[in-house]
Structure 1
Amino acid sequence: MNARFVLKNMFIAFLAQGISLVMGVIQSLLVPKLLGVTQYGYWQLFIFYVGYVGFFHLGLNDGVYLINGGKSREEIDKSLIYSQLVVATVFEIIVAIIISIIAIISGFGSERVFVLVCSAIFMVVQNAASYVMFVLQAMNETKLSSYSTIVERGVFLIPLAILLITRTKVFEPYVIAYIFSSVVQVLYCCYQVREFPKDGFMGWNLAVRESVESVRVGSKLMIANIASSLIVGVCRFAIDAKWGIKTFGQLSFALSLLTLYTAFVGQASMVLFPSLKQSKEAEIKQFYVHARDTLSLVFPVAYALYFPMAWILLLWLPQYAQSMAFFVFVLPICVFDSKMDITCTTMFKVIREESRLLYINLATVACSAVGVFFGTYVLNSVYVAIMAAVIAIIGRSVYSERFIARKLGVAETSISRSEILLTLAFVCMTELLPGVVAFLGYCAAYAVYLFAYKDRAKEILGVLKKI
């Protein structure tokens, strides 16, 4: 594995996602300031729904990614790639029309109908863009895929700035601007593969047959990814149904900040897969061990950042005090979900254990759903519902690390157990102690944690210096 090439691609991917992160922070801090809790709740409902549009490509994008991963632009079958995009787009247009008709005749309120129809439109556009981005990533042209993210975020900035300057206090224009930016993104992506249609459309029979094969290969990974998002998603569905749009908006504000972070660090997985797929077994083992331990030592710093961030956010958005209370319990998602994405999910794809990843995620969703139902409808507690989802995510990460370690034949580590204790210490200190005392107490606990694994930290630093 060419470490310098991977790091260069990773830098560009992080730059692209860094721009998204800045945009997301602006969006998360300024939009709720203008919209108010109810209108912001509908905006978050749209963001929530579009997070699941990937389900409707049925795994085609993932299948194309897995089948063609590691092939160069010269080697890839351009006619096949183009033909499958046509099939997918036609299918999703039909699905979008059906969703829109059902939404309109369902009797939902006008705001929810608008959200559902716009989500259906976004599905067609975004899945097409996602398809081309997966193709670019499979060809190890992750720079172009990253640039498309920069284009999409940059285009969204213009109408967002206008809406903020004009102090637009209804959510609908923000949704339209969001869809418009995705339209520009798909046009950019198609331009990057503009020579593919020149090889011609292979005919509907063959195109549909090949698309079904890609769906067969990628469906497990797609369902695994959707299931991964449903671990917290079932909690959000339950809270919306039980406590309404305002409480949903409060929780969604906290989760939106976490989503920005996990999306940012998740770019590493996008870059690593095509490179690791071409690597030797010894390199894969070495990468996994170093990545696992590095992330376990570094990511808990996020807990220390909670204290200044919460203080600033409460000054800016005092009406979202409830969100900060939720934030304490959902912050471990930053640590454990990010680790899962970068190390475990990447490795499951590299060693072609998509079935195992699917079973793990489905089992985790089931555990989360049971806990969320118990917390919501038996104990009538938002906090128990949230904690059920978070505990499920932690359990998934720990189990996946152990499974991959055994599969690769590498030693397991005690760092994960210590990391869980550190997480528990953070939650307890934050809930039971005054803010400053809790901050100092956690910093002391984190220092002890790092000291306990100082030899491993030095070893990792030595490896990084050699790159």
Structure 2
Amino acid sequence: MVNGRSKKLILNLLYAFGANGITMLVSLLTTLVLPRFVSIEEYGYSQLYIFYTNYIGFLHFGIPDGIYLRYGGYSYQKLDKPLFRSQFWISWVMESVVVLISWNIFRLGASTIEKQYVFFMLLCAALVVLPRTFCQMVLQTTDRINNYGIMLIIEKTVFAGLILCWIFVRNLSFKTIILSDIIGKMLSFIYVCFICRDIIWGNIINIKSCLQELKLNIQAGSKLMLANIASLLLIGIIRIGIEYQWNIETYGKVSLAINISNFILVFINAIGIVIFPMLKKMPSSILPDLYQKLKMVLSVLFLGFLILYYPMQFIIKLWIPQYSISLKYMVLIFPMCVYESFISLLINTYMKSLRKENALAIINIISLVISIALTIISTVMLKNLLLAFIAIHIVYMLRFIIADKYLTQNMHIKSNNGQILFLCILFSILSWCLSIGQSCILYMILYIVYFVKNRKELIKAYNSLVNTIMK
């Protein structure tokens, strides 16, 4: 019989999957449809905007992250509304000042009119995204996944609808793509303002008490924010190096390869959002065993994702042949989705639950230093695009190894990643050296052998997870 907690988990997963399913379809639109209807240069500028929007959230001083860590598992009704309301408005004022200063700095460095437009639209996006992030984090923290899901659906469906309209009237360009994205964000923000109206509108507390609470959230959240910045910059630094060393067309092709590799992470992130509040409520004594069981089940799932590369390559080559070079290099970084899935869903979620944000930040900073070094060598010194893609694979693999090793040692359990790393590396080598048919057959044989070899442990782990959730 399904109990209340299990029912809540299932419903949250359905909401998260539904919202992120739509997000995935929109990602498919931007990844496969946009390159078909705009030039490589126009696509490159649109991807430059999307790339920089990933970093907007780091202008909020870590306040939403602090709320996420400190209030994870709380009920929305039990939140101190005047306290949160005061933080919302003070943080929005602070963030707006920082955004305006940042924009004036970045626009001076814009070398073309197109880049000036990109940076101006980033300013507009930031003024919407930052306050929305505050409310969004409150919804995630208090397990209101349904409202969070609707917010995503509004943003993505509006964006997709406008893109289809621009295609229909034959006026699709990087400017209209960016405009559509901002309109989608604005309408989703209006929805969030309505849902969280008791947090946004009403009386506020005195500034002194509010600043004390902001200080606590910044102290907790800044470490997680730093970890997230370092995590994004792992590939961001290499992309910046490619954009600096080559032209916008090359950057667009590289972005397509990375976007396709990140395609699967949309669903993975959805599960992570649901799991965090659940872990916060569980006894710490069962977390180590739960980690091993989750890792066993997820390893079979994630390694199976790599098989998707082969039909995707065939479809993309027929649909947008001008990006065929992207597919060639994509095999080197496609295993990134495996490493990042483990990090995003399992390791990051555990570290947040165990309040190990310091260690998470240090691990990501170490990985970032490695990324910077490899970027300088591959893009600046050697000017070799192949090495730049290999660098991406190496950086994400090393981060996964270091983070998993730290977490397992902390929980006094064994870390065994040999088979996972072997299959990921072999996938890239086989796909680079052999034809698509040969590499597909060989990898599927290796995957089946891996599955059969671990089937008993997998069944045992799966049954244990089901029993834990159903309790």
Same fold (TM over 0.5): yes
User: Which segment is superposed worse, 280-289 or 102-111?
Assistant: 102-111
The whole-number CA distance in structure 2 between the counterparts of 1:245 and 1:299 is: 32
- The verdict on how the C-alpha distance between 1:197 and 1:169 changes in structure 2, with shifts beyond 3 A counting, is closer
Superposed CA deviations along residues 114-169 of structure 1, whole A, max 9, x for unmatched, are 11111122112112111101101111212211221111112222211101212224
Which of 74, 77, 88 in structure 2 is aligned with 1:71?
Answer: 74
Tell me how far 1:199 sits from its aligned partner. Answer: 4.8
Paired AA for residue 402 in structure 1: K
Match of 1:353 in 2: 356
Q: How does 1:53-452 map to 2 (within 5 A)?
A: 53-106=56-109, 108-197=111-200, 199-413=202-416, 416-452=417-453
Tell me how far 1:401 sits from its aligned partner. Answer: 1.6
- The verdict on how the C-alpha distance between 1:465 and 1:274 changes in structure 2, with shifts beyond 3 A counting, is closer
Q: State whether residues 329 and 387 of structure 1, in contact with CA within 8 Å, keep that contact through their aligned partners in structure 2.
A: yes
Match of 2:460 in 1: 459
Superposed CA deviations along residues 289-334 of structure 1, whole A, max 9, x for unmatched, are 1111111121111221111110110100000011101210110111
Paired AA for residue 420 in structure 1: L
- The verdict on how the C-alpha distance between 1:205 and 1:462 changes in structure 2, with shifts beyond 3 A counting, is closer
The whole-number CA distance in structure 2 between the counterparts of 1:321 and 1:211 is: 49
* TM norm structure 2: 0.95
Superposed CA deviations along residues 162-183 of structure 1, whole A, max 9, x for unmatched, are 0121222421011011011101
Superposed CA deviations along residues 434-461 of structure 1, whole A, max 9, x for unmatched, are 2111111111111111122121122133
Q: Describe the SS at the equivalent of 1:380.
A: coil
- The verdict on how the C-alpha distance between 1:281 and 1:161 changes in structure 2, with shifts beyond 3 A counting, is same
Contiguous gaps of at least 5 residues in structure 2: none
Q: Describe the SS at the equivalent of 1:123.
A: helix
The whole-number CA distance in structure 2 between the counterparts of 1:323 and 1:58 is: 36
The whole-number CA distance in structure 2 between the counterparts of 1:230 and 1:107 is: 20
User: Which segment is superposed worse, 43-52 or 442-451?
Assistant: 442-451
Q: How does 1:19-34 map to 2 (within 5 A)?
A: 19-34=22-37
* TM norm structure 1: 0.96
User: Which segment is superposed worse, 38-47 or 95-104?
Assistant: 95-104
Q: State whether residues 99 and 123 of structure 2, in contact with CA within 8 Å, keep that contact through their aligned partners in structure 1.
A: yes
Please tell me the root mean square deviation across aligned C-alpha atoms, in Å: 1.7
The whole-number CA distance in structure 2 between the counterparts of 1:274 and 1:101 is: 39
% identical equivalent positions: 26
Match of 1:17 in 2: 20
Paired AA for residue 123 in structure 2: A
User: Which segment is superposed worse, 322-331 or 376-385?
Assistant: 376-385
Superposed CA deviations along residues 397-416 of structure 1, whole A, max 9, x for unmatched, are 12222221221223333xx2
User: Which segment is superposed worse, 113-122 or 40-49?
Assistant: 113-122
- The verdict on how the C-alpha distance between 1:209 and 1:113 changes in structure 2, with shifts beyond 3 A counting, is farther
User: Which segment is superposed worse, 129-138 or 309-318?
Assistant: 129-138
The whole-number CA distance in structure 2 between the counterparts of 1:321 and 1:62 is: 40
Superposed CA deviations along residues 339-398 of structure 1, whole A, max 9, x for unmatched, are 111110001111111000000000001111111211112322112122112211111112
Tell me how far 1:209 sits from its aligned partner. Answer: 3.6
The whole-number CA distance in structure 1 between the counterparts of 2:196 and 2:39 is: 42
User: Which segment is superposed worse, 440-449 or 280-289?
Assistant: 280-289
- The verdict on how the C-alpha distance between 1:104 and 1:335 changes in structure 2, with shifts beyond 3 A counting, is closer
Q: State whether residues 31 and 164 of structure 1, in contact with CA within 8 Å, keep that contact through their aligned partners in structure 2.
A: no
The whole-number CA distance in structure 1 between the counterparts of 2:66 and 2:465 is: 33
The whole-number CA distance in structure 1 between the counterparts of 2:392 and 2:31 is: 23
